[in-house]
Amino acid sequence: MSNQRVELGEICSFYYGENLPEARRSGGSTPVYGSNGIIGWHNQSITKGQTIIIGRKGSIGEIHFSKQACWPIDTTYYIETTKKSCDLRWLYYMLVAIDLTGLNKSAAVPGLNRDDAYEKQIPFCSLPEQKRIASMLEKADRLRRLRRYALELSGTYLQSVFLEMFGDPVTNPKGWEITPLGDMLSISPHLGTITPAKESGKQLCVRVGEVGEWDINLGKCKYVSLEEKEFKRFSLQSGDIILARAIGSEAHLGKLSIMGKSSTPVVFDSHLMRIRTDSSRLLTFFLACWLKTDGGRARFMQQARQTSVQFNINTEQIASIELPVPPISLQQKFVKIIEKHLRLQAQQREAERQAEHLFQTLLHKAFQGELASNEDEILIPDVEIVNQQKPVFADIAEPINGDAYQLALPLE
């Protein structure tokens, strides 16, 4: 492989996109591109075929590839022809490797100066070599995108199963007994400590930024040093729900995590609320999933309030939320499904990490002119998503009402 390096300006020119307001877009089959990607559809194009789109304003330096003729708007540059013989897919990946996002020339409105981009150097090789490299990178890129899509699909799985097993929390079609949440807790809901968190101390202190996923992100927590009496008031036990109860964003009010095991004592701050269920009547995972459904969140938000600076909910308001409560045996069955799902989701997350690492490694080698022909022997698995009517994971739960759910995405 040739290691010749040339300036980008010797290979191509960046052309300005053309303005196309949303009101003028006809909604045809031609994609309309902005700096962030596809922003609409139209019945005409300004390019004739495959096109590279580069963010010029807003999300500067972001790179997109259209396999068909398209309409890049005036916040973008585009490339559809080159000065040297080039495979556009190869050039697209070289532009990704360059990372033009750091070439901002304006503090007020981010902007990319194409002359700065032209000075960037990339390795240049023969057209057959470009096609080989592009084919390999495209396959690795597709793998990482599918891994990412699998994780996105998994995010809807539990809500689908919840609704199938228990019905809509608002309409309660299965006729479960309606009970105030406060009657099913082992202790009353409690707000956290007002002691500011610091870089060191006796106990980890959970703040709003560390909740939202199933597990608390303890690795990002800072510390407080509470005396024994205060520590008992604000301590977290395995299985506690920790919930954002005062925050500036309505969308983030009520985001929650479940406390797991920790070798270090853990407390929580005053913007959060601790909820500890009576496990003989209400299981933590059931309540957490209930709060994440659209219907459960609607009931939660009915109790929430808004001030001039933030959204909030207090302990009395959350305790008064009424929810349909199915038998504990059915809740237990659902929790087993959750546990299997979370294990598979962890495998999916690791598969996505590996796919991303593979792509970045190959991209780096290609940009350095070091992607030798024997790299073709690297096994990049072919993957396919089988998206059935209810796209959830196979082998997690027994079929419900006779339906088998499946997502076919190999992890090997």
Q: Give the pLDDT confidence of 349-365 residue by residue, as tens digits.
A: 899 999 999 999 999 99
Q: Are residues 88 and 188 in the same domain?
A: no
Q: Is residue 157 part of a domain?
A: no
Contact yes or no for 121/7 (Cβ under 8 A): yes
Q: Give the pLDDT confidence of 176-202 residue by residue, as tens digits.
A: 999 999 999 999 999 999 999 999 999
Q: Are residues 107 and 193 in the same domain?
A: no
Q: Which range among 41-50, 206-215, 369-378 shows the weakest confidence by mean pLDDT?
A: 369-378
- Whole-number Å distance between alpha carbons of 94 and 18: 25
Query: The domain that contains 72 carries what CATH number?
Result: 3.90.220.20
Q: Is residue 159 part of a domain?
A: no
Q: Are residues 262 and 320 in the same domain?
A: yes
Q: 14 or 146: which carries more pLDDT confidence?
A: 14
pLDDT of 346: 87
**Proportion of the chain above pLDDT 70, given as a percent:** 88
Judge residue 148's burial from the number of C-beta atoms within 10 Å of its C-beta, 0-12 exposed, 13-18 middle, 19 or more buried: middle
- Model confidence at 370, pLDDT cuts 50, 70, 90, reads confident
Q: Is the pLDDT of residue 400 over 80?
A: no
Cα 392 to Cα 164, 173, 292, 375, 387, distances in angstroms: 12, 23, 17, 35, 8
**Proportion of the chain above pLDDT 90, given as a percent:** 76
Question: Which DSSP state fits 97?
Answer: H
Q: 259 or 390: which carries more pLDDT confidence?
A: 259
Q: Is residue 202 part of a domain?
A: yes
What is the arithmetic mean of pLDDT over 50-75? 95
pLDDT of 42: 96
The structure tokens listed for 60 are 């500067």
Q: Give the pLDDT confidence of 249-268 residue by residue, as tens digits.
A: 999 999 999 999 999 999 99
pLDDT of 376: 54
Where residue 369 falls (left for φ over 0; alpha for ψ -120 to 50; beta otherwise) is: left
Q: Are residues 184 and 210 in the same domain?
A: yes
Mean pLDDT of the chain: 88
Is 325 in a helix, a strand, or coil? strand
Q: Is the pLDDT of residue 171 over 60?
A: yes
Cα 85 to Cα 67, 90, 153, 281, distances in angstroms: 18, 11, 40, 70
Return the top range by mean pLDDT from 218-232, 297-311, 377-391.
218-232
Q: Is residue 252 part of a domain?
A: yes
User: How many domains does the chain fold into?
Assistant: 3
Q: Is residue 167 part of a domain?
A: no
Q: Are residues 47 and 187 in the same domain?
A: no
Q: Which residue segment(s) compose the domain that 142 sits in?
A: 127-152+332-412
The DSSP bridge partners found for residue 247 are 311
Q: Are residues 193 and 77 in the same domain?
A: no
pLDDT of 308: 78
- Whole-number Å distance between alpha carbons of 209 and 345: 22
The structure tokens listed for 353 are 């990490």
pLDDT of 125: 92
Q: Is the pLDDT of residue 54 over 90?
A: yes
Contact yes or no for 144/356 (Cβ under 8 A): yes
Q: Are residues 317 and 388 in the same domain?
A: no
- Whole-number Å distance between alpha carbons of 409 and 384: 6
pLDDT of 390: 39
Contacts of residue 360, Cβ cutoff 8 Å, sequence gap at least 6: none
Q: Is the pLDDT of residue 402 over 50?
A: no
pLDDT of 382: 53
pLDDT of 385: 46
Q: Are residues 30 and 74 in the same domain?
A: yes
Domain end among 325, 344, 379:
325
What is the arithmetic mean of pLDDT over 369-398? 51
Backbone phi, psi, residue 14, to 5°: -95, 125
Q: Is residue 168 part of a domain?
A: no
Q: Is residue 274 part of a domain?
A: yes
Q: Is residue 357 part of a domain?
A: yes
pLDDT of 409: 37
Domain end among 267, 290, 325:
325
Q: Are residues 235 and 340 in the same domain?
A: no
Q: Are residues 231 and 299 in the same domain?
A: yes
Tokens 């101390």 belong to 201
The DSSP bridge partners found for residue 52 are 65, 79
This prediction's pTM: 0.72
Domain end among 325, 350, 381:
325
